[in-house]
Structure 1
Amino acid sequence: MTDGDRRPVVVGIDETTESQAALGWAVEKARSAGVPLRVVTVDPAAPPPLELADSDAVASSAALRQRHDAAVEYAQGQLGRENVSARLTTGRPAKVLVAEARQAELLVVGSRVRSATSAIVMGSVGAATVAHAACPVVVVRISTEIAPADRIVVGIDGSHQSDAAVRFAFEQATERGVPVAVVHCWQPYGYVDPIRWEHGVLEAEQQRRQDWIRQNIAPLAKEFPDVEHTAELVEGHTSTELTERSRRASLVVVGSRGHGGFAGLLLGSVSQNLLHHARCTVAVVKARP
């Protein structure tokens, strides 16, 4: 594959501190994956004619341009000028980033946080890119945990999107040299009336699911032999369990909308919940067509 054929990591830059964290994450991803980086900054409104321009709006646009130039300079210093491209434009940020994602390996954006104890504030840009980008989207959050563990947690449910998420998790673990925790959540009494459970049925179903998890990740364990991994069957709601585990992780990965091998798990709602409540960076992965 030539340099021109390599899909870039695209990172969205704005005026927030969180976008700087996204830039750092994207630079490290591009470096470890050996792919180019594309820095994209979108001014939400085209400047009006000079005689009608509001001084605050002009100052804001100038500050955004400075932030963009600084981001490009930093990225080039880390990766080399030949490995960094840039785009500074006006328009709707979400629309521009979704369009950029069509030719991207990965799209990286920042999140905004009210406080250490509150949920992530997902703006329209973050929500739209996660919903509509053709590539995986990483929403970077600056961890508020005192000592977050450097591991990757991934949810699995048997859908194609979930399979893509697990592969993404193993790839990230290989690049970063960290372990992976594969988690499958279920609620047994949500599937069958407890009155209908005969002796040994629950234990047999648990064993079946544990065997399924091991079989599902066995090919990836063989493909990525250096990745330490665990497989866990958890009784509980997927959103709750993954959010809790995000306290002890540097990255949580989910499929964009998984409703597959085991009925009742809808990772669309799970991904949205994690984007608002996870305590670490979240990657939302779609299976490429």
Structure 2
Amino acid sequence: MTGPVVVGVDGSPAGTTAAWWAAREGMTRRLPVILVHSWTTQPLNVPVPQEALSKQQYGQSVLRRTEAELLHRYGDLSLTTELVEASASQALLEHSERAALLVLGSRGHGSAASFLLGSISLHVLGLSRCPAVTVRAGDPAIATGWGHPGTERGDVAVGVEPGPGADALLEFAFTTAEAHGCGVHVVRALPYQYAVAAGRHEERDAVERARLAASLAPWREKFPGVPLVDEVTAGPAAQVLLSAATRGRLTVVGRRRHPSHLTWKLGPVAHAVLHHAPCPVAVVPHD
């Protein structure tokens, strides 16, 4: 994985938590981190003639404060800041062409919320050219202050379906797990109606487990040091993946790329995981 880790910050708890996660990820992966603040996306209650200057001053203060906090915790971190005039979404999407990761703050359960005063991060998640990670404000497993590391979590959880898109998700999951010295928990969900229609549960389960094992064989060989748990379970895909994510370090979901930069869509599983997963969620684009 090459390119920087790019994170949007606005001075909110969501942006701060995202910045802490991004800094640790940059150190772990040995990648530079870029803090981005869009001053045009940050309205302030100031007189109109002073508005632009005040917004820029606020943005600079947010960047300086966040930079100081991150460097206090990670003195060797390669860190730069950018105060941009472009909208938050535009700035992040432009970075996604060259970044290894985008990182967005989420306001909490019940909302796949966005960065910078409620601008919709679903737009960024749906169009990013690189993997994009959402981090919940106040996540107890992430450092939230001056040098206080968070509680460690478990494996990287990833849900896969048969098809070419699975490889992009598995590559991201295994690479992340190897960097963090943890394992990968791969789940595949089978519809309940398929289980009933098949009639022979044990035989069906054996066939599906064999198919999943075959698709994972190249990744076992490529990442022999990464512990792997694979699971085939009947049930709604979102529910199965959320169950695996309960004590996960990161949950990985996929999104199809679209040829037009104006067209994007997140599937129902990605929506559900973004809303309800207790850990950071990575949305990985694939063909």
Give the TM-score of the pair, scaled to structure 1.
0.80
Whose helix fraction is larger, Structure 1's or Structure 2's? 1
Residue 126 (structure 2) pairs with residue 122 (structure 1): no
* Deviations 1:187-219, CA, capped at 9 Å, x for gaps: 141x4873xx45x4x433221110111111111
Q: Which moved more, 1:97-106 or 1:245-254?
A: 245-254
Is 1:217 the counterpart of 2:212? The answer is no
User: What is aligned with 1:261?
Assistant: none
Q: Relative to 1, partners in 2 of residues 1:220 and 1:6: Cα closer, same or farther, differing over 3 Å?
A: closer
2:155–2:249 CA contact under 8 A, matched in 1: yes
Q: 1:125 to 1:99 in 2, by over 3 A?
A: farther
CA distance in 2, matches of 1:46, 1:182: 40
Q: 1:79 to 1:268 in 2, by over 3 A?
A: farther
Partner of 1:68: 63
Superposed CA deviations along residues 207-246 of structure 1, whole A, max 9, x for unmatched, are 1110111111111111111111100001101112222332
Match of 1:12 in 2: 8
1:244 aligns with 2:243: yes
The amino acid across from 1:282 in the alignment is: V
Q: Which residue of 1 aligns with 2:32?
A: 36
Q: Distance in 1 between matches of 2:33 and 2:75?
A: 8
Q: 1:79-228 to 2 correspondence within 5 Å?
A: 80=76, 83-113=78-108, 118-123=109-114, 124-141=119-136, 142-143=138-139, 149-189=153-193, 191=194, 194=197, 197=198, 200=200, 202-228=201-227
Structure 2 CA distance for partners of 1:26 and 1:47, relative to 1, 3 Å: closer
1:27 corresponds to 2:23: yes
Which amino acid is the alignment partner of residue 274 of structure 2? L
Q: Which moved more, 1:215-224 or 1:129-138?
A: 215-224
Which string of whole-angstrom CA distances, capped at 9 and with x for unpartnered residues, describes residues 63-94 of structure 1?
3321111223344552547x323211123211
Consecutive unaligned residues of structure 2, counting only runs of 5 or more, are 142-150, 258-264
Does the 8 A contact of 1:94 with 1:129 survive in 2?
yes
Unaligned residue ranges in structure 1 (runs of 5+)? 259-265
Aligned-residue offset at 1:255: 1.3
CA contact (8 A) 1:22 1:108 kept: yes
Is the 1:27–1:79 Cα contact (8 Å) retained in structure 2? no
* RMSD over equivalenced CA pairs, Å: 3.1
Amino acid at match of 2:25: K
